[in-house]
Structure 1
């Protein structure tokens, strides 16, 4: 699970949760809905921040799950999705200035990757957007970095995991998404 920050047409930030992300070297590959504000923003302004939350932020992430920065709300969004302009405020998260890109970082996230989208294109079925982002700058909480290196200590870092619409750390389940079809 990651939180993406991008820049809206008016210069304000957009903040969006997404669960389709993986990294290979200095490239992060993202899978986005084609009709959302994040895809709209990246097709016009390629700068973004990939913020990696820890499990303690699952409720803040879930507050973003049912909102969009796109107005009017696209018909392709799930029922009940509503427009919110200030998504940082909606989630109770803090924007922090980036160093290499315009969109802000999420202060509460232990890992943040400032990046530039090198490629934004539809998937083969044209249902989603595939984004290849080049990492320009990495920020890591010093508490999770191996002393004297630029490496994250795996035992000190626990990312938020989104597993079939349920939130987990690296251990027990923390809660579930409003879209879950298997709530407890």
Structure 2
């Protein structure tokens, strides 16, 4: 039977994402998060309004959503409890966060140039999505104790880069779900996908029927803003 329950969080399982953004001084911030969902070539993410990633997104309007596979869990975990903010926001101080500016180096990951945005991609991530901010929306705005603390940001994808090893054989524009093994987070713990459990009636619909006008629009996106300092000085 069901029991009434009041868990502190409702994180029932979503993909882990490493978001790369450009700091005000041109350096790069890399942050793990998992509050995200997709519709077509749009992604909606939820972030603290005070985080360095959020501030970078509001200022620059650009990012890369890097999706790690399960074998990159160690690199992702090394970024836990780190923030690009200095000083550390009070809320994060209480949780034990520390300021860290060299996040690529800390995680043991490699930055690589993007095609349409200034922030770099993560070389080791099998999926890299270059994106721009399309809209922002406050979360909990009706509650004065929450107002201004959380934001949802709608991102429009401008370029998709996929490691060829996870593509469906014979298809350059389709990911094979039997090969793609994303890193997932459920209630603050890391998980991966198991094997397919059942045939899907929904999967009988051709993927092409879901194609969004954003796909054609993305082809026109060719001009990244001024490169960050990491590109000027050479990737570390």
**TM-score, normalization: structure 2?**
0.70
124 and 79 in structure 1: CA distance in 2 versus 1, 3 angstrom threshold: closer
Aligned partners of 1:91, 1:165: CA distance in 2, in Å? 19
Q: Deviations over 1:95-152 (max 9, x none)?
A: 0110011000011100010000111332134331101000000000000112333010
Aligned to 1:151: 174
Q: Secondary structure at the match of 1:99?
A: coil
Aligned to 2:110: 94
Aligned to 1:174: none
Q: How many residues were matched structurally?
A: 172
Moved more, 90-99 or 114-123: 114-123
Matched, 1:33 2:42: no
Contact 1:7–1:14, Cα closer than 8 Å, also in 2: yes
In structure 2, stretches of 5+ residues that fail to align are 1-15, 142-146, 195-236
Matched, 1:133 2:149: no
Aligned partners of 2:75, 2:150: CA distance in 1, in Å? 25
**TM-score, normalization: structure 1?**
0.90
Superposed displacement of residue 79, structure 1? 2.7
RMSD of aligned residue pairs (Cα, Å): 1.3
In structure 1, stretches of 5+ residues that fail to align are 172-184
Superposed displacement of residue 62, structure 1? 1.1
State the 4+ residue runs in structure 1 displaced beyond 3 angstroms: none
Q: Which one of 53, 57, 63 corresponds to residue 48 of structure 1?
A: 63
Q: Secondary structure at the match of 1:65?
A: coil
Aligned partners of 1:59, 1:107: CA distance in 2, in Å? 15
Aligned partners of 1:149, 1:42: CA distance in 2, in Å? 31
Moved more, 47-56 or 124-133: 124-133
Aligned to 2:32: 17
